Amino acid sequence: MTPKVYDVPGDWATRAYLDDAAYQEMYKRSISDPNAFWAEQAKRIDWFKPFTKVKNTSYDPHNVSIRWFEDGTTNVAHNCLDRHLATRGDQVAIIWEGDDPKDDRKITYKELHAEVCRFANVLKARGVKKGDRVTIYLPMIPEAAVAMLACARIGAVHSIVFGGFSPDSLAGRIEDAKSTVIITADEGVRGGRKVPLKTNADAAATRAGGVETMVVVRRTGAAVAMQAGRDVYYDEAAKTVSTDCPCEEMGAEDPLFILYTSGSTGKPKGVLHTTAGYLVYTAITHQYVFDYHDGDIYWCTADVGWVTGHSYIVYGPLANGATTLMFEGVPNYPTNARFWEVVDKHQVNTFYTAPTAIRALMQAGDEPVKKTSRKSLRLLGSVGEPINPEAWEWYHRVVGEDRCPIVDTWWQTETGGILITPLPGATKLKPGSATRPFFGVVPQIVDAAGNPLDGACEGSLCIADSWPGQMRTVFGDHERFVQTYFSTYPGRYFTGDGCRRDEDGYYWITGRVDDVINVAGHRLGTAEVESALVAHAKVSEAAVVGFPHDIKGQGIYAYVTLMTGQQPSEELRAELVAWVRKEIGPIASPDVIQFAPSLPKTRSGKIMRRILRKIAENEFGNLGDTSTLADPTVVDDLVNNRQASQ
Ligand code: 6R9
């Protein structure tokens, strides 16, 4: 079946920065002479000391090293705030929309600058200095952006942990980052419910040890325990400091932040991003992908706990002097019309969300959308997982009333910014395809042996050379960085995604090819869920796979073998689901638990996940070769139980 193709709408062809010819020309330049291209692009930020070297990168597995603009110095907070004051001090930088539709706030660049300086001084007064790691565990309130920029201002490295993660997950990240400072809030508010952030942070600090300072932002005013000497309320500390705080001069390659993300093995990795290349890359992508012009109202619905929030709520937009909307709530609270009501209330022009939200709202029908105007919308975006063509068409037709292009942006925590994407004035759209590479990006599709494939093909997605927004290392474990991304296909960056390229050179991401599952746009390693399950006293063994889920994209299917003497029951099932929620967080709750007397293993003891995936997908007829199993009858038992549980 040939997919439908959507042309660039007429008004976009005239309004946009780039048409197709301009994209082609600029793309070619970016690839043929990256040094010249990125030297030119680096002018979009202010430098304290100019760089003389542009690109200095090696993908050689014996010496992976990624450096951009390495001898220049700058500061991210200066670029996101100070340099805008003369021209746009009174322009709104952040529109904050609270969980309750009655709560909102507008913060100008001048106000944001003052607040960031104050926060930075609170941190400094507590002894935080350049290079220190500061853990941020906050809800979606303006103070989250303020805290990030305050760290950047003084050269501290932030590590944001999503507010939905459990105390255990938070503790692991505090420990790994060797962080002695936590910034949290009394409580978070989402969908009308309170989240006990301070209580969680206390439990995590106890577990991790070494936490010397906890700065607590008051969100709800709930009474929380404050530990004398360690804990301080932000508003009280802020009264004692000035709003004058010079920016630290940062080397281009000094760390900006760490963000933990799941991989196929082991504990989550601390993805490390540095200063100048990251900022240049998020700024250029924010400008061209969203065709951002002065005065646009831009809304990305992500949480700052994920990379999308870092790059496209805070750093990219603020570097470009944009007005960025920050939303505390959820798509279906108080009703399924919330997103579109917020669009109308703040006259949003660009709206960037995740397929899982689109699918959930699609299921709720057209009526909540159609009762709103949405006339301000010009551009729609999607990120986090493959968007199925049905959801794409609905988003385009119902939400965008056939007039707004959709930018389906493919990228990763590791890539720092968008790598494969349409540009709205340049790219014809095919529903479900992330389309073409951004400037400076050379995608390569390789076969199982690592040979690059030409033309229309399907295989594993690699990137042939570095771009400025790329992660530099795994915090504290460079060897793991090399192993994870540069050893499978030596000489290339391996993304972990499968991909197809069609006859027009369009890229279609087919999903992860490793043991990572993407649940509602959130990455989870199957190994993480398994290790949470086997930590339960009644569980002897567990194997976790993803399976297709109507709304979440993928759901979590767990096969659990119980300790001898334990009996399967509905109560135990519920207990195990609750256990995983407590161990990792609600996003990791298994959707299905199948009790299995044993798991299909090879003679060398490896669990054959391929078979477990097929059973979870209900594809019994297509189990493939089971002859290498130590005990093939195990499979019949699993299939029978699966069928019985339907
Ligand atoms: C930005 C972000 C990265 C993984 C990535 C891929 C999937 C993201 C996608 C997409 C298809 C898109 N992914 N965007 N798949 N089309 N437009 O989501 O980062 O949380 O690190 O996840 O998400 O599988 O490898 P992260």
DSSP per-residue letters across 61-72 = TTS-EEEESTT-
386 CA from centroid of ligand 1 (Å): 7
| Ligand 1 contact via 56 beta carbon (within 6 Å) | no
Contact 242, 210 (CB under 8 A): no
Q: Angle, nearest 10°, between helix axes 142-154 and 109-125?
A: 60
Q: Name which residue sits closest to atom 18 of ligand 1, judged by CA.
A: 384
pLDDT (0 to 100) of residue 643: 56
Report pLDDT digits (tens) over 198-229: 999 999 999 999 999 999 999 999 999 999 99
Would the annotation count 573 as a binding residue? no
Q: Which CATH superfamily is domain 520-641 in?
A: ANL, C-terminal domain (3.30.300.30)
**Closest ligand 1 atom to 386 CA:** 11
24 CA from centroid of ligand 1 (Å): 25
**Closest ligand 1 atom to 306 CA:** 20
Residues of the chain falling short of pLDDT 70: 1-2, 643-646
Name the residue of 160, 509, 522, 587 whose CB sits within 8 Å of the most ligand 1 atoms, as the mutation to test its pocket: 509
Q: Domains of the chain: which residue ranges?
A: 520-641
Would the annotation count 105 as a binding residue? no
Would the annotation count 410 as a binding residue? yes
385 CA from centroid of ligand 1 (Å): 5
145 CA from centroid of ligand 1 (Å): 23
Cα–Cα dist 154/332, whole Å: 38
In sequence order, the β-bridge partners of residue 543 are 559
**Closest ligand 1 atom to 413 CA:** 21
pLDDT (0 to 100) of residue 231: 98
Any idea of the CA torsion for 519, 523, 524, 526, to the nearest 10 degrees? Answer: 80
pLDDT (0 to 100) of residue 28: 98
pLDDT (0 to 100) of residue 630: 81
Contact 241, 122 (CB under 8 A): yes
| Ligand 1 contact via 411 beta carbon (within 6 Å) | yes
Q: Name which residue sits closest to atom 12 of ligand 1, judged by CA.
A: 410
115 CA from centroid of ligand 1 (Å): 33
- Name the residue with tokens 């303020």: 146
pLDDT (0 to 100) of residue 197: 98
Q: Name which residue sits closest to atom 15 of ligand 1, judged by CA.
A: 385
| Ligand 1 contact via 282 beta carbon (within 6 Å) | no
The pTM of the full predicted model, rounded to 2 decimals, is 0.95
Cα-trace Rg, the chain = 24
Would the annotation count 600 as a binding residue? no
